Chain A
Amino acid sequence: MTAATVRDRAVRRRALDQSDRGIASHSDWRRPGVWLGMSTVHLILLILLILWGVGPLLWLLKSAVTPTQDTLQAPLAVFPHGWDWSNVATAWNTVGIGVQFLNTIWVAVGSWFVQLLVATTAGYALAVLRPKYAPIFNGLVLATLFVPGVVLLVPLYLTVLHPPLIGHSLIDTFWAVWLPAGANAFNILLVTRFFNNLPREIFEAARTDGAGPFRLFWSIVLPMSRPILGVVSVFAIINAWKDYLWPRLVLTNPAVQPLSVRLPNIQSQTDLGVFLAALAISMIIPIVLFLVFQRLFLRSAGLGGAVKG
């Protein structure tokens, strides 16, 4: 198998799909200089990406099962004295971050549900039902996109302290995180646009069949919206898992704190090795979710690229 054969096979594979070309054309690729140069650059890029993206995380995993003294004295050595699961066990049992781990899941699930509820019902009303006053609300929601989050911080905190109608504060309850999460204009934008692009003939057909607005929503629109619901869900869960400042403000009792809030608080009282094990535990779920749902993540992230519209 010569280099030429490999190259020709690659070129032939590409030539099969004429539209699959980037900046370099197929004839460009056939030139040995271009092919070699590009492949080298890509190899270097791959190595750099591995070092950049995965390197720090691999180090964390390694240190989680390394005794603390080794991590302090020779951080880059690989298991100079063998490995040691006790840090992980201590982190889970003694430091007890299992509680906060569950809290993080709880927070994520609740925020996800609230966001989905608000976005789908609002999107449905604005894009499918289209009452006469819809444009007002559309505008109000879009306007909040232009207000930086910083403006909300203090008054939102006070609102949670003294919510309208309810007698006592929501501090140290999950509602303090779930409910404000629903006020996400970006979600409504995404869902509204998606619903707007759905073929209206289906709605008309369903209406003439006698479907009321609830049936239309539940049986027609929602099933058709799986793609956008997937995107909104991905954003919702990841954002909930990563959130720090807001949960830190409103969840002060360790029994309800998620991992992101608890970890910095116990840093100074926790042995380094145990702490790194705790960090490693907290990054497992998002990474696993990402690896499993890669395409969904990357497609959602690329959505910003379709912002031209």
Chain B
Amino acid sequence: MKSPRTAAAVLAVTAIAGAGLLTGCSASGDSGNTNGTVAITIASLVPGSSADAFKAFNLRVKEFEKANPKVIVKPVEYQWTGPTFSAQLAAGTLPTVFNVPFTDSQSLANAGQLADITSDVKKLPYANKFNKSLLQVAENDKGDLFGIPYGPYAYGLSYNRALFTKAGLDPNKPPTSWDEVRSDAKTISDKLGIAGFMVFTSGNTGGWGLTEQTYSRGGRMEVAEGGKTTVTADNDQTVAALKFLQTMRWTDNSLGSNFNLDWSGMNQYFGSGQTAMYPSGSDVLTALVQSDGVDPKDYGLGLIPTEGDNSGVLSGGNVAVVSAAASPAEKAAAVKWIDFYYMQKLLDKSAAVADAKSLISNKQPVGVPQLPIFDKAQLDTSLGWIDSYINVPKENVAPFQNGIFDQKIIAEPAKHTQELYAALDSVVQAVLTDKNADIDALLKGVNTQIQALIDADAK
């Protein structure tokens, strides 16, 4: 039998060991700056991306570390979603370098939750070459810079060329008007028994997609006049867009039978061949290949049909930002990484080629449609450098790439964007799941709800 003192000893040891373990562990990866080396954590890819995608990314990380021996980089899976971002912020689990969409970068900058990197960015040779209106999303009200925008996209119509062919439609001629979208969708769903067309519905993407459909008909969700913003969710074009969806759902039955799709759910839906068309960001092919096993040969990108005056295409993008908790050394290292990974491939031939090579060797797509960060000439030059590596068939994305520069590009609504999108989510869901949804009442409800939030800010 063990000595009775053992019981006391066990209790005491547990307490001490517990305390020791607690103090010994480090929760976040932002510590460990010794011997002049700086350690930073960076957002890598969305969780669940393929092993190949991670390999390509890690190759780039190694190249960076070789070029910057004093910086240690630790990649961390990361996905920005409206619902979870501020919890991560509060918990301090954000990497040193991460990305936020255009809709949030300004408010975060103003709230002091991002690091001011104006001086670090000024050291970069191309600091003045940014498209000025694009750069604004990364600035606070005073004009200080808090991030570097990258990957601007516009909405396009992603479609599955193989399914189009199978249904007897010409894959080189995607629909160019909403009526054509409707008839093509009906043909596909009748012939193949899948959703001919589908839209995002949850995780704030329902509202995002509905806003795009509004813009494409010439409407606006928010109108700013003389410093006051009015929510206009019940405008005629949004009503028309919802009625369009209603018809396709209840009359044509061409929208399939799953209406609870957020961004990654919808990508999976498309990737597994359960829908043939959906409006999406023009850069979604990367995620489709990395996470949903899509073959670029079967992928097509067309223009979203635009009709009516004032119509345009919703655009957005991401901003590479630095956590407010970063030390000056970490900030400098972070900006170096952002420059290396996000920018160099647009500015320097060898960097562009290295990036393309790492993607190719890991079966990732090269040549996903892009919009310019600096100007169109620079974009064309950078695309020329990697021309031989492009593995996305050019004709597949030609309808979009050729037509987008003639389109009016419209930014997302400015105030309380994510709450607006969240409120619109349930409107879209209601229209798609309830035959008798009262569109006007639902939209008026959104007006009231979001207007209250905007008015409260002014107090």
Chain A residues in the interface with B (C-beta under 8 A): 72, 94-95, 117, 121, 161, 166-173, 175, 211-212, 214-219, 249-250, 252-254, 265-266, 268-272
Number of B residues near A (Cβ < 8 Å) is 39
Please measure, in the bound complex, the distance between the C-alpha atom of A252 and the C-alpha atom of B18, giving whole angstroms. Answer: 22
Interface-located stretch among B89-97, B111-119, B306-314, B352-360: B89-97
Any A CB within 8 A of the CB of B26: yes
Chain B residue, CB-CB nearest to A218 = B7
Least CB distance, A258 to chain B, in whole angstroms: 15
Please measure, in the bound complex, the distance between the C-alpha atom of A250 and the C-alpha atom of B292, giving whole angstroms. Answer: 28
Question: Known: A266-B47, A268-B267. Is A169-B2 also a contact (CB below 8 A)?
Answer: no
Q: Which residues of A contact B92 (CB under 8 A)?
A: 161, 169, 171
Asked whether, in the complex, the Cβ of A272 is within 8 Å of the Cβ of B272, the reply is yes
Any A CB within 8 A of the CB of B362: no
Least CB distance, A307 to chain B, in whole angstroms: 32
Q: Which residues of A contact B51 (CB under 8 A)?
A: 94
Chain B residue, CB-CB nearest to A94 = B51
Asked whether, in the complex, the Cβ of A265 is within 8 Å of the Cβ of B8, the reply is no
Asked whether, in the complex, the Cβ of A214 is within 8 Å of the Cβ of B8, the reply is yes
Please measure, in the bound complex, the distance between the C-alpha atom of A271 and the C-alpha atom of B267, giving whole angstroms. Answer: 12
Question: Known: A94-B51, A268-B264. Is A173-B91 also a contact (CB below 8 A)?
Answer: no
Chain B residue, CB-CB nearest to A268 = B264
Asked whether, in the complex, the Cβ of B7 is within 8 Å of the Cβ of A173, the reply is no
Asked whether, in the complex, the Cβ of A211 is within 8 Å of the Cβ of B4, the reply is yes
Asked whether, in the complex, the Cβ of A265 is within 8 Å of the Cβ of B26, the reply is no
Contact of B11 among A121, A212, A271 (CB under 8 A): A121
B4-46 to A contact mask, C-beta < 8 Å, 1/0:
1111100100100010011101111000000000000000001
Please measure, in the bound complex, the distance between the C-alpha atom of A274 and the C-alpha atom of B111, giving whole angstroms. Answer: 42
Please measure, in the bound complex, the distance between the C-alpha atom of A218 and the C-alpha atom of B262, giving whole angstroms. Answer: 55
B225-254 to A contact mask, C-beta < 8 Å, 1/0:
000000000000000000000000000000
Chain B residues in the interface with A (C-beta under 8 A): 1-2, 4-8, 11, 14, 18, 21-23, 25-28, 46-49, 51, 76-77, 87-88, 90-93, 262, 264-265, 267-268, 272, 291-293
Contact of B4 among A169, A214, A249, A254 (CB under 8 A): A214
Chain A residue, CB-CB nearest to B93 = A252
* Supplied contacts A171-B93, A269-B49, 14 more A-B pairs, CB within 8 Å: A168-B26, A168-B27, A169-B27, A214-B5, A215-B7, A217-B4, A249-B87, A252-B88, A252-B93, A253-B93, A268-B264, A268-B267, A269-B291, A271-B272
Q: Which residues of B contact A217 (CB under 8 A)?
A: 4, 7
Asked whether, in the complex, the Cβ of B7 is within 8 Å of the Cβ of A214, the reply is yes
Asked whether, in the complex, the Cβ of B23 is within 8 Å of the Cβ of A166, the reply is yes
| CB-based closest 6 A-B pairs | A269-B48, A215-B4, A268-B264, A218-B7, A269-B291, A214-B7
Asked whether, in the complex, the Cβ of B4 is within 8 Å of the Cβ of A175, the reply is no
Chain A residue, CB-CB nearest to B79 = A265
Please measure, in the bound complex, the distance between the C-alpha atom of A269 and the C-alpha atom of B417, giving whole angstroms. Answer: 26
Least CB distance, B269 to chain A, in whole angstroms: 9
Question: Known: A252-B91, A272-B272. Is A171-B27 also a contact (CB below 8 A)?
Answer: yes
Q: Which residues of B contact A218 (CB under 8 A)?
A: 2, 4, 6-7
Please measure, in the bound complex, the distance between the C-alpha atom of A72 and the C-alpha atom of B268, giving whole angstroms. Answer: 14
Chain B residue, CB-CB nearest to A171 = B91
Please measure, in the bound complex, the distance between the C-alpha atom of A237 and the C-alpha atom of B69, giving whole angstroms. Answer: 46
Asked whether, in the complex, the Cβ of B268 is within 8 Å of the Cβ of A268, the reply is yes
Chain A residue, CB-CB nearest to B46 = A269
Please measure, in the bound complex, the distance between the C-alpha atom of A212 and the C-alpha atom of B93, giving whole angstroms. Answer: 48
Please measure, in the bound complex, the distance between the C-alpha atom of A58 and the C-alpha atom of B214, giving whole angstroms. Answer: 47
Asked whether, in the complex, the Cβ of A269 is within 8 Å of the Cβ of B77, the reply is no
Q: Which residues of A contact B267 (CB under 8 A)?
A: 268
Please measure, in the bound complex, the distance between the C-alpha atom of A128 and the C-alpha atom of B60, giving whole angstroms. Answer: 64
Contact of A269 among B27, B28, B264 (CB under 8 A): B264
Q: Which residues of A contact B4 (CB under 8 A)?
A: 211-212, 214-219
Least CB distance, B29 to chain A, in whole angstroms: 9
* Listed residue (A170, A252, A266) with the most chain B CB atoms within 10 angstroms of its CB: A252
Asked whether, in the complex, the Cβ of B77 is within 8 Å of the Cβ of A254, the reply is yes
Q: Which residues of A contact B76 (CB under 8 A)?
A: 253
Please measure, in the bound complex, the distance between the C-alpha atom of A217 and the C-alpha atom of B10, giving whole angstroms. Answer: 12
Q: Which residues of B contact A161 (CB under 8 A)?
A: 90-92
Please measure, in the bound complex, the distance between the C-alpha atom of A252 and the C-alpha atom of B76, giving whole angstroms. Answer: 11
Jot down 16 A-B pairs with beta carbons below 8 A, ordered by A: A166-B22, A167-B23, A168-B26, A169-B92, A211-B4, A212-B4, A214-B6, A216-B4, A217-B7, A252-B91, A254-B77, A268-B265, A268-B268, A269-B48, A271-B272, A271-B293
Q: Which residues of A contact B291 (CB under 8 A)?
A: 268-269
Chain A residue, CB-CB nearest to B31 = A168
Least CB distance, A271 to chain B, in whole angstroms: 7
Please measure, in the bound complex, the distance between the C-alpha atom of A176 and the C-alpha atom of B231, giving whole angstroms. Answer: 42
Chain A residue, CB-CB nearest to B4 = A215
Chain B residue, CB-CB nearest to A262 = B47
Least CB distance, B315 to chain A, in whole angstroms: 24
Asked whether, in the complex, the Cβ of B292 is within 8 Å of the Cβ of A269, the reply is yes
Q: Which residues of A contact B5 (CB under 8 A)?
A: 214
Question: Known: A173-B25, A219-B1. Is A269-B268 also a contact (CB below 8 A)?
Answer: yes
Q: Which residues of B contact A219 (CB under 8 A)?
A: 1-2, 4
Chain A residue, CB-CB nearest to B25 = A173
Asked whether, in the complex, the Cβ of A254 is within 8 Å of the Cβ of B93, the reply is no
Chain B residue, CB-CB nearest to A254 = B77
Please measure, in the bound complex, the distance between the C-alpha atom of A211 and the C-alpha atom of B265, giving whole angstroms. Answer: 64
Q: Which residues of B contact A117 (CB under 8 A)?
A: 14
Question: Known: A218-B4, A218-B6. Is A265-B90 also a contact (CB below 8 A)?
Answer: no
